[in-house]
Amino acid sequence: MSLPRQPGIPHPRLPLPKGQPENLAAFQQWLSDAIPMVSALGIRAVTRQGDALTWQLALTPNLNDKGTGFGGALTAQTTLQGWCWVTLWLRERGINRDVVVAEASQRFLAPVTSDYRLVCTPAVPEGPTQLASKLAERGKGRIALTQQLYCGERLCLEASGSYAVLPPH
């Protein structure tokens, strides 16, 4: 059990996986400790395959007054998932750096009416290679990511964001 978070005090970093595959359950637990609202988002499972990070989520903790997905919760999830994509990508390469969202937008296409999945991928296939180049050249960089939320096979939300990897302290 972790201590309650305090404003202005950074949460300790999770040790890098050191050549091992990331333990996504341990990462999710660390994330819940580091960002208290995460435990209320209904994230049931986290998986990675290739350049895709997928979350399975429960609708119930994210309901609005109409009984469908609350746009604010869905927006927070897409933004957080992009941050996680970049953080996990860096950790896979043995890099422990700060990541921030620079821009984010969402387009709501249909109501979210059941448990759902959220898939995050680079906006362009060469995005990860370009980020690696910028990090090597300048010590910082950005990547554009997209998130798509599906209820079954129906696309309900599309989001995009630009995430910055900050230079070392």
Give the tens place of pLDDT for each residue, 136-146: 999 999 999 99
2 pLDDT more than 70: no
1 pLDDT more than 60: no
CA–CA separation, 33 vs 3, rounded Å?
8
150 pLDDT more than 70: yes
Average pLDDT over residues 50-56: 97
CA–CA separation, 53 vs 84, rounded Å?
8
Band (pLDDT 50/70/90 cuts) for residue 169 is confident
User: DSSP character for 13?
Assistant: P
> Residue 54 burial (CB < 10 Å; 0-12/13-18/19+)?
middle
Average pLDDT over residues 71-97: 97
Q: What phi, psi does 167 have (nearest 5°)?
A: -65, 160
3 pLDDT more than 80: no
Query: Which amino acid belongs to residue 135?
Result: L
Query: Is pTM beyond 0.85 here?
Result: yes
Band (pLDDT 50/70/90 cuts) for residue 20 is confident
Average pLDDT over residues 94-107: 96
42 pLDDT more than 60: yes
pLDDT for 138 equals 96
Q: How far is CA 33 from its chain centroid?
A: 15
Residue of 113, 117, 112, 114 whose CA lies nearest to 44: 117
CA–CA separation, 49 vs 29, rounded Å?
20
The structure tokens 């091992």 sit at 20
- The overall average pLDDT reported for the chain is 95
Domains and CATH numbers, the chain: 51-165 (3.10.129.10)
Q: What phi, psi does 113 have (nearest 5°)?
A: -115, 0
User: DSSP character for 20?
Assistant: S
